[in-house]
Amino acid sequence: MLFLELAETFKEMETTSSRLALTQFLVALLKKTPVNIIDKIVYLIQGKLGPDHSSKELGIAEKIVTRSLSLVTGVSLNDIQLEYNKIGDLGDVAFSLKYNKTQSTLFQEPLTVEKVFDTLIKIANTSGPGSLDLKIRYITSMLNNSSSLEAKYLLKLVLGNLRLGIANYTLIDAIALSFTGNKENRRILENAFNLSSDLGNIARILAKGSLNDVQLISVSLFVPVRPMLAERAADSREALKKMRGECLAEYKIDGERVQIHKKGKQIELFTRSLENITFHFPEIVKMFADQSANNFIAEGEVVAINPDNLRYLPFQSLMKRRRKHQIQQAMETYPVLLNLFDLLYYDGQDTMGFAFFKRRGLLENIFGNIKNERLKLVDQIKASNIEEIEKFMTKALRNGCEGLMLKDPNSRYRAGAREWAWIKLKKEYSGTISDSVDLVILGALYGKGRRVGKYGALLLGSYSKIDDTFYTICKVGTGFKDNVLATLYDKLSKLIIHKKHPRVEAGALPMDVWFEPSIVLEIVTAEITLSPVYTTGRNTIKPGYGFALRFPKFTGNVREDKSPEDSTTVNEVLQIYRNQLKQ
């Protein structure tokens, strides 16, 4: 398949402002893609080289691209830099510069998708001495064979800047439509995706075979499962009612969720957004290496601790472990403890279908006798009345936890689902302050006074998985310390898009700048109100009105562990609104 066909579709996608049109472009593209490269096309559409958990990242340094571009076009490095300063994207610079000089002489053989994909893999795998020259050679060889439109998207891919913003659920819809003609089959694909986290593979299996083949996709070691999530209740009374009067209550620990995969000597750790973080926690790897338990997938919450009294420290302390260098030193300065809470796979068997009490029983059999003060099973009690829950809540808060997780003892593990089988109860629920929400930045207004030239207010949105769309909910301008604002400004500058993103529903709201949805902020608010301005939950309670946050404030916590699709959902906002009415 010619890379030009892909570049032309990218161009069309970039100019559309409707999600429906985006899906249609995707369907047309998938339908004309040869089956043997369908997975590659699926990855490239998302600017990737494979599924998140196992592929190398693109994102070559700008100076390598600038030098390649200079070599191919004959334009000086300086002039390219000037043009880049003006336009702000090297792909767009290539489009404007390239074939003025070289089009006729250097056009050699047509560039294919296969060739581009394989070369991108080679580039991503090249490291060490001499790698700079080699990368330049790979890039120039592709540029020499490309038209200006191809060069534009080639460079955006190489730089990791494609930014079409096509997320998993839009792609799932498009794959379902392309190969089964029916969007309803999305559920089957979603299920397979929750277990295997690899849309390229799912598309390939479906294009070659049938839906039945997709249904056969099951959990496997070293492929992270998308995590089961929790609903939120107004208070313990409502939570217990939802649990039909009996639950297993656990500490809700303010750390980071890890999924541990072990077979033989191989041990890997994944985050809730499926990132491989094995490298960051050598002591956890060692803990499991020392265990006889083998061949399993378990889940737990890793939390930073004060080594003197083993008390849990807040999430921010744990984030200090997310660094690229001096891991050994960080390990000593910020020690951690792992609380195991679930078992998804054991000894060749998928255990996700087992009732939760049985999975916990297995966890106890396997890890219960471990003599290691840094590895334990999460504290748990069986509770069947409110007093028991509240007493346990007090104990949890005293021990530095966020609150409790209540779990239905008979529920199976539902990968990727947020359902009432798990309910989170945080301390804020019992007081008057609403719970925090995690919202994605969609746009901004320029500031006045001290903030001139910077953003004065950020437009935030919630997420709906049903239509893979972000809905506006508030503008926030308070809670930002100057240093955080400066870092955010730099990050946001790279996400600017020339018009509202097609997956954003903003009504007629005017904005100075729009961003590709990417950064998630933790926000507290006094109350959720109804508003004619914002689109979250519009028409749910009252025609023409959506939900808005009153007096929203940034907590200072950028949720780097969350992708935009992990933001608080429209449904959750509705739930919080309803909970509020009960209080």
Binding status of residue 53 toward ligand ATP by CB under 6 A: no
Give 276's DSSP letter: B
**Least spacing, CB of residue 402 vs ligand ATP, in Å:** 7
Binding status of residue 198 toward ligand ATP by CB under 6 A: no
Q: Which amino acid is at 148?
A: S
One residue of 39, 52, 250, 468 binding ligand ATP per CB under 6 A:
250
From 152, 156, 252, 424, the catalytic residue: 252
Candidate ranges 197-205, 246-254, 384-392, 539-547; the one touching ligand ATP (CB under 6 A): 246-254
**Least spacing, CB of residue 355 vs ligand ATP, in Å:** 16
Rounded-to-integer distance, Cα 431 and Cα 418, Å: 24
Binding status of residue 272 toward ligand ATP by CB under 6 A: yes
SS3 readout for 22-61: HHHHHHHHHHHCCHHHHHHHHHHHCCCCCCCCCCCCCCCC
Token code pair at residue 36: 């043997």
Binding status of residue 269 toward ligand ATP by CB under 6 A: no
Binding status of residue 359 toward ligand ATP by CB under 6 A: no
Rounded-to-integer distance, Cα 39 and Cα 204, Å: 6
Binding status of residue 234 toward ligand ATP by CB under 6 A: no
3-state helix, strand, coil in the chain (%, to 5): 45, 20, 35
Binding mask 315-354 for ligand ATP (x = CB under 6 A): --------------------------x-------------
**Least spacing, CB of residue 520 vs ligand ATP, in Å:** 10
Q: Of 364-403, which residues contact ligand ATP (CB under 6 A)?
A: 378
Rounded-to-integer distance, Cα 75 and Cα 98, Å: 9
Question: Residue 152 or 407: which CB sits closer to ligand ATP?
Answer: 407
One residue of 93, 223, 230, 274 binding ligand ATP per CB under 6 A:
230
Q: Is 190 helix (H, G, I), strand (E, B) or coil?
A: helix
Secondary structure element (H or E) that encloses residue 268, with its range: strand 266-270
Binding status of residue 253 toward ligand ATP by CB under 6 A: yes
Question: Residue 301 or 516: which CB sits closer to ligand ATP?
Answer: 301
Question: Residue 251 or 455: which CB sits closer to ligand ATP?
Answer: 251
Burial class (CB in 10 A: 0-12, 13-18, 19+), 112: middle
Please indicate whether residue 494 is annotated as part of the active site. Answer: no
**Least spacing, CB of residue 576 vs ligand ATP, in Å:** 12
Candidate ranges 159-167, 176-184, 250-258, 350-358; the one touching ligand ATP (CB under 6 A): 250-258
**Least spacing, CB of residue 487 vs ligand ATP, in Å:** 21
Question: Residue 419 or 482: which CB sits closer to ligand ATP?
Answer: 419
**Least spacing, CB of residue 414 vs ligand ATP, in Å:** 12
Token code pair at residue 241: 């009612």
Candidate ranges 20-28, 44-52, 132-140, 227-235; the one touching ligand ATP (CB under 6 A): 227-235
Rounded-to-integer distance, Cα 264 and Cα 546, Å: 53
**Least spacing, CB of residue 187 vs ligand ATP, in Å:** 21
Candidate ranges 124-132, 223-231, 362-370, 408-416; the one touching ligand ATP (CB under 6 A): 223-231
Rounded-to-integer distance, Cα 160 and Cα 155, Å: 8
Token code pair at residue 542: 């009252």
Provide the Cα torsion 294, 295, 296, 302; round to 10°: 50
Q: Which amino acid is at 75?
A: V
Binding status of residue 229 toward ligand ATP by CB under 6 A: yes
Rounded-to-integer distance, Cα 321 and Cα 335, Å: 9
Task: Tell me how far the alpha carbon of residue 469 is from its chain's centroid.
Answer: 14
CA distances, 184 to each of 18, 30, 211 (Å): 21, 18, 12
Beta-ladder partners of 261: 268, 297
Binding status of residue 227 toward ligand ATP by CB under 6 A: yes
Size of the site for ligand ATP (CB under 6 A): 15
Burial class (CB in 10 A: 0-12, 13-18, 19+), 25: buried
Question: Residue 251 or 515: which CB sits closer to ligand ATP?
Answer: 251
Q: Which amino acid is at 11?
A: K
- Residues 478 and 485: beta-carbon distance below 8 Å: no
**Least spacing, CB of residue 572 vs ligand ATP, in Å:** 8
One residue of 113, 243, 405, 506 binding ligand ATP per CB under 6 A:
405
Binding status of residue 19 toward ligand ATP by CB under 6 A: no
Rounded-to-integer distance, Cα 61 and Cα 210, Å: 41
Question: Residue 341 or 346: which CB sits closer to ligand ATP?
Answer: 341
> Closest Cα to residue 274, out of 234, 225, 214, 345?
225
Candidate ranges 139-147, 222-230, 368-376, 500-508; the one touching ligand ATP (CB under 6 A): 222-230
Q: Of 409-428, which residues contact ligand ATP (CB under 6 A)?
A: 424
One residue of 301, 408, 468, 516 binding ligand ATP per CB under 6 A:
301
Binding status of residue 252 toward ligand ATP by CB under 6 A: yes
Q: DSSP strand E in 289-415: where?
A: 296-306, 311-312, 336-346, 349-350, 375-377, 380-383, 403-407
What is the set of active-site residues?
Answer: 252
Residues in touch with ligand ATP (CB under 6 A): 227, 229-230, 250-253, 257, 272, 301, 341, 378, 405, 424, 438
